[in-house]
Amino acid sequence: MTELYDSGLSYETLNTARSALSCLCSKQDGYSVGSHPLVIRFLSGVHNLRPTKPKYQDTWDVSKVLCYLKKLTPVRDLTLKVLSYKLVMLIVLTQASRSHSISLLSIDNYVKDSESYVLYYKGLLKQTRKGKVNPVLKLYRYAHDPDICVYETLTEYIKRTSSIRGNEKSLIISYIKPHKAVVSTSISRWIKVVMKDSGVDVEKFGAHSARGAVTSKAKQSGLPISEIMKIAGWSSSEIFARFYDKPLEESSSSSFQNSTLQ
């Protein structure tokens, strides 16, 4: 483990090595390797010398993606591929959603009125805890600018896919045959495509960075931290402050949506 430390590896990597050694090695002095007092003291020292750092020190400007999405109009004239990309990105921008969460969205029993959609998840989300009710997704009409309105985009998407989805209940389906449900890795790839086409440096920023970008934008727009935490599914403001609240690289859920789209 000293050799791993001297090679420049992080605390998280050494901690993973500790777990592997505990599974593979016999006990030493009556302790498993990972629980040995010397190993515990060693890892504590590594943590003090190389504390955990967030992956990103800054974030990208949401307005880059919004300007790009505004060009993808009218939605009725978009190909299913581009329409799918736009819908996924707008859900990310208005809900700070993870790719995994989007892949779980279902059209089963969804509710629509003149101003919003209510969609349910077909599985548990990452932030869902025992004894807690699985959240629902609410998407609101954005009358200020229909070109970046997730409500209008979703309406067109459901209409366009109704004849090709068959019995598939997942909201997001493949734009190529056989039009089955799309997994989270594919959704992450779609997000990166939109980011790249918008001028965001995807060599530096991954798809998950979108959560930090939109929540940071919401905070800069004056939205209360409590509202941001509720939408993003964080139980502690420290998580947002430590890992997601970043300065721009350059320079109610309805209120969250408006704060990121404006």
User: 80-100, pLDDT tens digit by residue?
Assistant: 999 999 999 999 999 989 999
102-120 average pLDDT score? 95
pLDDT of residue 189: 97
How many angstroms from the chain centroid is the CA of residue 245? 14
Q: Is the pLDDT of residue 211 over 90?
A: no
260 C-beta neighbours (distance < 10 Å), count: 25
Angle at the Cα of 28 from the Cα atoms of 24 and 34, rounded to 5 degrees: 55
**Average pLDDT taken over every residue of the chain:** 87
Q: Is the pLDDT of residue 225 over 90?
A: no
Higher pLDDT, 235 or 141: 141
Share of the chain above pLDDT 70, in %: 85
75 C-beta neighbours (distance < 10 Å), count: 21
Higher pLDDT, 60 or 150: 150
pLDDT of residue 187: 97
**The CATH fold of domain 62-261:** hpI Integrase; Chain A (1.10.443)
pLDDT of residue 251: 38
- Sheet hosting strand 116-121, strand order edge to edge: 105-112, 116-121, 137-140
**Domain map (residue ranges) of the chain:** 2-49, 62-261
Q: What pTM does this model have?
A: 0.73
Q: Is the pLDDT of residue 245 over 70?
A: no
